[in-house]
Amino acid sequence: MARHGKKYRAVREKVDPSRQYSLDEAINLVLQTHYANFDESVDAAVVLGVDPRKADQNIRGSVVLPHGTGKTARVLVFAKGEKAKEAEEAGADYVGGEELIEKIKGGWLEFDKVVATPDMMGAVGKIGRILGPRGLMPNAKTGTVTFDVGKAVKEIKSGKVDFRVDKAGVVHAPLGRVSFGLEKLKENFAAFANILLKLKPSSAKGTYVKKVALSSTMGPGIKVEPSEIKEAAA
């Protein structure tokens, strides 16, 4: 079993592992228990009462965080003609077609998000095995397969994040950086919670939100009272 360092053990003592905290308490604890010498990311993990094996319960969505993530994403857009020009004017870092596909086949992956117009998806499918496992494949459900490429690029640049339930029924989402402070992190969490609750499938029975936890990149996980997600969304 991996052993944690002295700094981690010191901050871990501030957290009661048997307790579920209010959202304010949990965020404040995250801010108190980060210890790395860089601006750590703050992330949420939510355990849902869904069966990801069922198509209608395979939760997937996106949200534009009001205060962003603390990082500006590098956006690649597959488009041609006027749509390529629109993407460039919106601030896309890379815009193109077959030439970019060939470059990616050669191992180039210097981008964080991919947007494509519907008419380019046939070509983009050629690199699905490269983009898919990395979570980079454009998808209509997250708004990254669209003719409105200008809007898509601007949303991503302003802090849009995608999330998807994993095989264990857990959704992970970034909420920002520890430097954001309590209020900005709360507002980002509220935006995420609002979308997540709207995605509840009608076929899901029982408790939808089972567990919630927050953590910084290096810090310990802090449990949040599940009802807090509904209050935040409201």
- How many Å from the N-terminal Cα to the C-terminal Cα in the chain? 41
- The token pair at 27 is 């965020």
Cβ-in-10-Å burial (0-12, 13-18, 19+) of 169 comes to middle
Q: Please give the pLDDT value at position 10.
A: 81
pTM of the entire predicted model: 0.83
- End of a domain among 123, 157, 191? 157
With a CB cutoff of 8 Å and minimum separation 6, the contacts of 115 are 75, 76, 77, 78, 79, 87, 92, 138, 144, 145, 146, 149, 152, 153, 156
One domain, residues 50 and 85: no
Whether residues 81 and 145 share a domain: the answer is: yes
Does some domain include residue 6? Answer: no
SS3 148: coil
- Any domain includes 4: no
Domain range for 225 is 19-68+160-233
Rounded to whole angstroms, the Cα distance separating 116 from 124 reads 8
Same domain, 142 and 169: no
Is 171 within a domain? Answer: yes
Question: What's the number of domains the chain is made of?
Answer: 2
- Residue 147 in contact with residue 117, Cβ under 8 Å? yes
Shared domain check, 62 and 41: yes
Same domain, 165 and 64: yes
Please identify, among 136, 157, 178, the residue that sits at the C-terminal boundary of a domain. 157
Q: Are residues 83 and 138 in the same domain?
A: yes
Alpha-carbon gap, residue 176 to 83, rounded angstroms: 31
Chosen domain end from 157, 180, 207 = 157
Same domain for 179 and 148: no
7 falls within a domain: no
Question: How high is the pLDDT of residue 1?
Answer: 41
Same domain, 174 and 217: yes
Q: Are residues 179 and 144 in the same domain?
A: no
Of the candidates 9, 30, 8, the residue with the CA atom closest to the CA atom of residue 223: 30
**Residue 79's closest CA among 124, 27, 139, 140?**
124
3-state SS assignment for residue 124: helix
Q: Where are the alpha helices (DSSP H) in the chain?
A: 6-12, 23-33, 82-90, 98-105, 121-124, 128-131, 149-157, 181-198, 227-233
The domain that holds 124 is classified in CATH as 3.40.50.790
pLDDT confidence of residue 7:
81
What is the model's pLDDT at position 5?
78
Same-domain pairing of 132 and 171 = no
- The vertex-143 CA angle with 44 and 49, nearest 5°, equals 40
The pLDDT value given to residue 99: 96
Average pLDDT per block of 10 residues along the chain, 234 residues long:
72 88 96 91 96 92 92 95 97 96 96 96 96 93 94 93 93 96 97 95 91 94 94 86
Q: Which residues of 217-227 are buried (b: 16+ CB within 10 A; e: fewer)?
A: ebbbbbbbbbe
What integer pLDDT is reported at residue 3 of this predicted model? 67
The verdict on 139 and 168 lying in the same domain is no
What integer pLDDT is reported at residue 201 of this predicted model?
93
The strand ranges marked E within 38-123 are 41-48, 60-64, 75-78, 94-96, 113-116
Do 40 and 82 fall into the same domain?
no
